[in-house]
Structure 1
């Protein structure tokens, strides 16, 4: 299968980025690029912090950058991105910061240069609202949270 061409994204390195590397894919099959912390911070249990990356970007119109947690940090330390996935809009020009939260039981040290999150480039589809008096019928209907049931091992 042919891989699509990379989406070019202009990036400005801020003074506190000095000595760090730009976000990069760890493997050929990786969907996200690892982004590094540009600061040292201690996250206490339950605490949130917008961690600086030292980068500002110009994302092409029609795309966004999604900020996602790193699975290893989540599993080993309870570190996550609370608004996951976070969205960086194409018209934002400020510093890219990653909001981290410590769901763990112990303080967690983020050190400058640590991989703190993944960045995924994604196309954006815009919607338009069509006002109607009635919606089409579906099997689910108005069933909300948990209405589709739970599958248990051994059912069936």
Structure 2
């Protein structure tokens, strides 16, 4: 997919928007018990905070780790590209979900000073993981790759 640092940044910006916005909507819906137009609008306010954090965590931690783990399993010359794409996607969720759940726990669920921070973080990660996993594999990943291909070609 991305062939340069510039393309990697653009790809990450698009992916962060699709993933973080959806997960913010999901968490707001869990918190209030209903998915409404207000949830979709209010999610943009949190996206301004969570988006840049997700960008940094993905570019500096999750992305490199996802590629490292993927290329320990697969050899690009011998593997169909779809398996590499799916592996990077899965490992990205595996690394990003706990990190972003921790950020959300700190910023929106009581902060570092509460006695239950670890249990709240674990619960948040457990609730977010299935949504992040399936959203990434079934919607965000394919849509973002399509958008990226329309912008940059193959």
Superposition TM-score tier, normalisation by shorter sequence: under 0.3
- TM-score if structure 1 supplies the norm length? 0.23
- TM-score if structure 2 supplies the norm length? 0.23
| Structure having the higher Rg | 1
Indicate the structure with greater helix content: 2
